[in-house]
Amino acid sequence: MALIQCPECGAQISSGADHCVHCGCQFTYCPECGAVYVGKPEQCANCGYAFKRDRGQKKFAADTGGEQSVSENQTNYEETWKAAAPFRYKIQTIDEWLGIALLAIGLICLLIAFFVITNWQGNSDPLESLAQTGDTFKTVRTLVIIMCIALAYDLASGMLSKTCAAILLSNWLIDNHIAPEDGVQQYYGKIENIKMLSDETMKDAAYIKAHPSEKTGFYVLFFILLIAVAGFVISLGIAAIENLEFYMMQTVLFDVPFELQVSAALIAAGASLALYLIVRIFAYRGWNKKVEAWVDKVAPGVNKRIEKKIDEAVKKMFGKK
């Protein structure tokens, strides 16, 4: 065992390893002549040494029922993943733009609601003041409900597209007899310039394929969230209508302050935003931890490789070298 240079980043690594601990590049070291290759070739081009096939390649051959060469396996992976790529990209692109649009709608509604509140002025006539208060409250309530629906739909649509893409890809892995660890390793080892969301979807799909029972958890999480948010929005509308009718039935001698009438709508808006952020931040935390740990186990270096791609994209975006 000797120290060699990584063919991708140039760092010194052990010849006995199968990937670089610095950049995640998978390589093959020839024990006969010392040549280093990126990936897992069938034999050494210099001395003709036949490399041993690893556990993942043997598993692929067993699942497919054939004895394909490593180069044939790699070609098949490239062709099949590229064939599935447009479907994934279409879902992700639609979800990205839809999420941006819905968040913009929610923010605009909230800003308009605050503008209406801050610029509201009571009328000197008690009757007109009460009627004006009711109309203003209806406007604020409508804007807040639209904001809640936009945030809820954005949250649900993001989870739905992620869930469907991961489950469909996991079914694709099953139909093509591809082992989960092979799918992760070959996907990240052979197809470059993929979107970061595709990285997450592929890892989720491979994990679901290796753990079929996790599909149920995805479905349950989505439907519980959808029902909870829908119930919250409906209850908000009912409470607002009841409060408005109660205030409108009061006599002119009982002038209700405007701040009390819109407080329910503002609290609902804050609660909606808080619920949205909590689910966005914490809903996938446990899931992502399980997936990342599994990927580190079956395909060492993949997560570091993705982090490197993200860092390079950020540096390129801001013009850093």
pLDDT digits (tens, 9 = 90+) for 125-170: 555 555 565 666 666 666 766 766 666 666 665 555 566 566 666 6
**Please, which pLDDT band fits residue 256 given cuts at 50, 70 and 90?**
very low
DSSP SS3 for 65: coil
Q: Comparing C-alpha atoms, which of 4, 44, 7 is closest to residue 25?
A: 7
Query: In this structure, how many other beta carbons lie within 10 angstroms of the beta carbon of residue 206?
Result: 28
Q: Which residue has the tokens 């099953």?
A: 174
* Phi, psi dihedral angles at 197 (to 5 degrees): -65, -30
Q: What is the pTM of this model?
A: 0.37
8 A C-beta contact, residue 162 and residue 207: no
pLDDT of residue 225: 59
Torsion of CA 31, 33, 34, 36, to 10 degrees: -100
- Average of per-residue pLDDT across 10-36: 76
